[in-house]
Chains A and B, each alone.
Chain A
Amino acid sequence: QQQVKQSPQSLIVQKGGISIINCAYENTAFDYFPWYQQFPGKGPALLIAIRPDVSEKKEGRFTISFNKSAKQFSLHIMDSQPGDSATYFCAASRNINSGYALNFGKGTSLLVTP
């Protein structure tokens, strides 16, 4: 079963706009929530990650918002650029330091138009 639900499946944003991707999870044991960016034919690359002790984390144009009570987290891409066009995956894991595997969402295909 899908332990992490991601939406939307696809997203089109104009250059300079804000891209927002949402994820929800059920397992309260999850304590690590990363976002990955994947280009066609490449492996996923870590963008940004958050742990449940904070509600927001920002790195450059990328921000994760985390709502522990709602068991939801989202990725915001500010000032979206055509080079951001890729597939984005949210994921969740428990006890990442113990080497537990990541549970991935189904992915969001983002297209940023010029």
Chain B
Amino acid sequence: GAVVSQHPSRVICKSGTSVKIECRSLDFQATTMFWYRQFPKQSLMLMATSNEGSKATYEQGVEKDKFLINHASLTLSTLTVTSAHPEDSSFYICSAPGGQGSEQYFGPGTRLTVT
């Protein structure tokens, strides 16, 4: 099946720094990708929809200036957490609709810890 990768798998950063997370569709093109955040023992909450060639669409309550999304190509979307704070520590997961759009494929997630 289709594969979505994320890099890095884990990252620890200091408060005030920025962190970039990459999401790649390895064997298919994705004009749309989704970014989710998951806190421990909770569900996945949609943060934003990443659109290739246009601006991302953010969910209500998600600060677009803090969570910068760039859909640089048909196989790559990046999420940059700017000026990270400890409350941004979470599991960030991306997904992309498959080649036929029939299902969504999820990346393995990125564990962000802000100290």
B109 near A41 with CB under 8 A, answer yes
Q: Which A19-40 residues have C-beta < 8 A from chain B?
A: 34, 36
Instruction: With both chains docked as a complex, state the minimum distance between the C-beta of A36 and any C-beta of chain B, in angstroms.
Output: 8
Could you tell me the dominant secondary structure of chain A's interface residues? mixed
B103, CB-defined interface residue at 8 Å: yes
A49 near B44 with CB under 8 A, answer no
Closest A residue to B96 using CB positions: A99
Q: Interface readout for A80-114 with B: 1 if CB under 8 Å, 0 if not?
A: 00000000010001001111011111110100000
Q: Which B38-74 residues have C-beta < 8 A from chain A?
A: 41-46, 49
B103 near A105 with CB under 8 A, answer no
A61, CB-defined interface residue at 8 Å: no
Closest B residue to A90 using CB positions: B43
Please provide the 3 A-B residue pairs with the shortest distance between their CB atoms, ordered closest to farther. A99-B32, A97-B101, A43-B106
6 A-B pairs (CB sep. < 8 Å):
A96-B97, A97-B97, A99-B49, A99-B101, A104-B45, A106-B43
